Amino acid sequence: MLQQTQVSRVVPAFERFIAAFPTVNHLADADERQVLALWSGLGYYRRAKNLHRAAKEIVARFASVVPSDVPSLLSLPGVGRYTAGAISSIAHGRPAPIVDGNVKRVLLRIHAQDLDPGVPATDRWTWDHAADLVNIASSPGVFNEALMELGATVCLAPPSRPMCDRCPIAPYCASRAGLWQTIPRPKQVRPPSDVFCTSLFALDSRGRVLLEQRPSEGMWANMWQLPTLESPDDWPSRPDINAFAQMRSLAIQPAPLAIAPIEFTHQTTHRTVRFRVLVATPLACVRKTRTRHWASLSDLDSLGISNAQRRAIAMAADQRTK
C-alpha cells in the first residue's frame, strides 16, 4: 500500500483492509470486488489484484505461510525484487538486499559513481553493492530500513541539499566535496499523456446511478465507473457521445434544457485525465449485466471506484440537487 501512496492515506486504508482480511486465507477467499472496494483511494489498483492473486497462491502452494526466501517470493504475482527483499529481510531477517530510489542515491554518492540511474547496468551495480552490504549486516532488516531512511531524510535529492554534517557515513563518502550536486544524474522525465473522458451520470426512478465495470486491463482495471467514453486526443464529438449513450438506452438532453457539463482534471503519475460529466436520462429499462448495473448512491463505498469517478459522481449528484 505504501508504494506510490502517502502514509496518511495508507494508515486508515490498511486498518480497514486488515480488519476485513486478518489472514492470508481470508484474503484468498475474498471476492475481487470486495478487495478492490477496500483498496479504493490508494490508486494503482493492479497492486490489489496482484495481492489477491498472491494470497491464493500462498494458500495453494505454500500451505498458507508467506515464504521467506527471495526466489519463492519472486514467483508470486506482483512481487518484484524490491518487495521480495523487503519481506525476506524485514519480516524474516534474511540477508536480502533492497534498492529503491533512496538507496540507489546513497550508494552512487558514497562511491562517486556518475552513472545514469535509468539504465540496467546502474541497477545491477546498485543491487550488487547493496547485497554486499546486507550480507555482512548483523540485522539485515534493520540495515535495509536504515539505508532507505538515510536517503529519505539525510542524503536528500535535488533541489534539496543533503545534510552531510548529520550523515553518519560522511567520512567515507566520495561525493561529499560537491559531487552530490550531479550524482546521481537527473532522470529524463516524460510529460504525462492526456486522456479525455466524457462520463454520463444517469439516475433511474429509484434514484440509483448507472455504473459500468472497466476492462480487466489498463487504467483503473476492473473498477466501476459511470458510463465513460475515452479519447486520447480531444473531447469526443457530440454525435459520438449520443451514439455511445444510445447504446446504453440513455439520452443527453439537448440545449437549452441540458445541465451545464461538469469539468475537472485528475492527475496521475503518467496521465492527465480530463473529465467532462454530462447528465443523461434513461430512455428505457437498462438491464443489469455482469459489467453493468444500477447502484444506490449510499452503497458506493462497497464498490471498487476510483477517486476520479467518485468525484464525478459526487459533483453530478450535487448539481442535480440544486
First-to-last CA distance in the chain?
38
Mean pLDDT of the chain: 90
Q: How large a percentage of the chain has pLDDT more than 90?
A: 61
Say how many C-beta atoms besides its own lie within 10 A of residue 294's C-beta: 18
| 243, pLDDT greater than 90 | yes
- The grid cell for 204 is 433511474
**CA 179 from centre of chain:** 34
| pLDDT (tens digit per residue) in 69-85 | 999 999 999 999 999 99
Say how many C-beta atoms besides its own lie within 10 A of residue 106's C-beta: 26
Alpha-carbon distances, residue 214 vs 222, 229, 308, 310 (angstroms): 5, 11, 14, 14
pLDDT for the residue 5 = 72
Q: What is the mean pLDDT of residues 284-290?
A: 75
**Band (257; pLDDT cuts 50, 70, 90):** very low
How far, in Å, CA of 271 to CA of 127, rounded? 30
pLDDT for the residue 256 = 44
Closest residue by Cα to residue 111 from 181, 185, 186, 179: 179
Rg over CA atoms, the chain: 24
- The grid cell for 60 is 495453494
- The grid cell for 153 is 531524510
Q: Which residues contact 253 (CB under 8 A, 6 or more apart)?
A: 259, 279, 280, 281
Place of cell 547493496: 130
| pLDDT (tens digit per residue) in 85-144 | 999 999 999 999 999 999 999 999 999 999 888 889 999 999 999 999 999 999 999 999
pLDDT for the residue 321 = 66
How far, in Å, CA of 209 to CA of 203, rounded? 5
